[in-house]
C-alpha cells in the first residue's frame, strides 16, 4: 500500500470529535511503521490529537526515529510503553468538570489493558487514575479502596482468570461499572474467554462488558457516560 495515497487506504474521521465527543484512534497492530507515520502527520496537520494503539516496542522506535530532528518537541509523538500506545501531541490537562474515572486491575498482569484505557481517557481530558492489584483473591485489598472508589463517576475493571472483579464492584458500588476481560490465566482461561463469559453471565445488574483486552473500548464507553451526565447536569441548571 506504500504506493497509494493515505486518503485512499485510510479514510480518517476528523469529524468524530464534533459528532461523538471523541477522537478517532489509529489501530497500530496491523499497520506498518511507515503507514502510522503518515497517519500521525495527517492528524497533526489537522490540529487533532492522535492516539495509536497496539504498537510493539520495535515499531514504536522506528516511528519515533522518523520524527527525530523535525519541528519542536511538541511536533513529535510520545511513546507510552505500558499502554503500548503513541500520542501526538501529549494528552491535554484533565478537566474536573468531566467527572472522574478509576481504572482497576485484578492483578499486575492486567496493567497493559488498564494503561490503554487510562491513556485513552486522558487523551480526552478526563481525570483518571489507576488502582492496581485489587483482585478477588484477596478481597481485603479491594475493601481497603472502597472509600476512594466511591468518589469516582465511572469504574472500569480489568481482570483475567475468572474475571470476577467487576461483578464484585457492581455489587458493592452504585456507579456504572465497565468490565474488561483480560487474556491472562492458565488453561481453561482460554485467552480471556473464561473472564468474558463470567462477566457476561454476571449476576450484578447493570454491569457492562466490552471485548477481551479492549481497554480503549471501555474508555470510550466511560466517555459516553460522562458526556451524557455532563449534558444532563447542564439541563438541570
Q: Answer yes or no: is pLDDT of 8 > 70.
A: no
* pLDDT tens digit sequence for 34-64: 999 999 999 999 999 999 999 999 999 999 9
> What pLDDT was estimated at residue 219?
98
Q: Is 130 helix (H, G, I), strand (E, B) or coil?
A: strand
Q: Answer yes or no: is pLDDT of 115 > 90.
A: yes
Long-range contacts of 137-146 (CB under 8 A, 24+ apart): 137/106, 137/107, 139/168, 142/168, 142/169, 146/172, 146/173
DSSP 29: T
Q: Answer yes or no: is pLDDT of 117 > 70.
A: yes
Domains and CATH numbers, the chain: 6-88 (no CATH), 96-232 (3.40.50.1970)
Give the DSSP H/E element, type plus range, for residue 86: strand 85-88
pLDDT band at 132 (very low <50, low <70, confident <90, very high): very high
pLDDT band at 105 (very low <50, low <70, confident <90, very high): very high
Mean pLDDT across 215-224: 97
Mean pLDDT across 142-161: 96
> What pLDDT was estimated at residue 237?
54
CA distance 6 to 166: 40
pTM: 0.91
> What pLDDT was estimated at residue 68?
87
Mean pLDDT across 202-229: 96
Q: Answer yes or no: is pLDDT of 9 > 70.
A: no
The number of CA neighbours under 13 Å toward the Cβ of 19 is 6
Q: Answer yes or no: is pLDDT of 70 > 80.
A: no
Structure-block grid coordinates of residue 38 = 503518515
Q: Answer yes or no: is pLDDT of 198 > 90.
A: yes
Specify the range with the lowest mean pLDDT, choosing from 74-78, 107-111, 156-160, 176-180.
74-78
Amino acid at each position: 500500500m506504500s504506493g497509494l495515497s493515505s486518503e485512499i487506504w485510510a479514510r480518517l474521521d476528523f469529524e468524530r470529535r464534533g459528532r461523538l465527543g471523541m477522537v478517532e484512534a489509529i489501530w497500530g497492530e496491523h499497520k506498518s511503521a511507515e503507514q502510522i507515520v503518515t497517519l500521525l502527520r495527517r492528524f497533526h496537520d489537522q490540529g487533532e490529537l492522535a492516539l495509536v494503539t497496539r504498537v510493539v516496542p520495535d515499531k514504536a522506535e522506528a516511528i519515533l526515529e522518523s520524527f527525530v530532528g523535525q519541528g519542536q518537541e511538541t511536533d513529535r509523538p510520545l511513546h507510552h510503553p505500558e499502554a503500548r500506545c503513541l500520542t501526538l501531541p501529549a494528552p491535554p490537562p484533565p478537566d474536573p468538570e468531566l467527572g472522574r474515572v478509576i481504572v482497576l486491575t485484578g492483578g499486575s498482569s492486567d496493567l497493559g489493558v488498564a494503561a490503554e484505557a487510562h491513556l485513552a481517557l486522558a487523551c480526552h481530558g478526563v481525570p483518571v487514575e489507576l488502582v492496581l492489584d485489587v483482585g478477588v483473591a484477596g478481597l481485603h485489598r479491594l475493601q481497603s479502596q472502597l472509600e476512594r472508589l466511591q468518589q469516582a463517576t465511572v469504574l472500569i475493571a480489568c481482570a483475567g482468570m475468572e474475571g470476577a472483579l467487576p461483578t464484585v464492584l457492581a455489587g458493592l458500588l452504585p456507579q456504572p461499572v465497565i468490565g474488561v476481560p483480560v487474556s491472562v490465566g492458565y488453561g481453561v482461561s482460554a485467552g480471556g474467554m473464561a473472564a468474558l463469559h463470567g462477566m457476561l453471565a454476571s449476576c450484578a445488574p447493570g454491569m457492562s462488558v466490552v471485548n477481551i483486552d479492549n481497554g480503549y473500548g471501555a474508555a470510550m464507553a466511560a466517555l459516553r457516560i460522562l458526556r451524557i451526565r455532563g449534558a444532563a447536569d447542564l439541563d438541570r441548571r
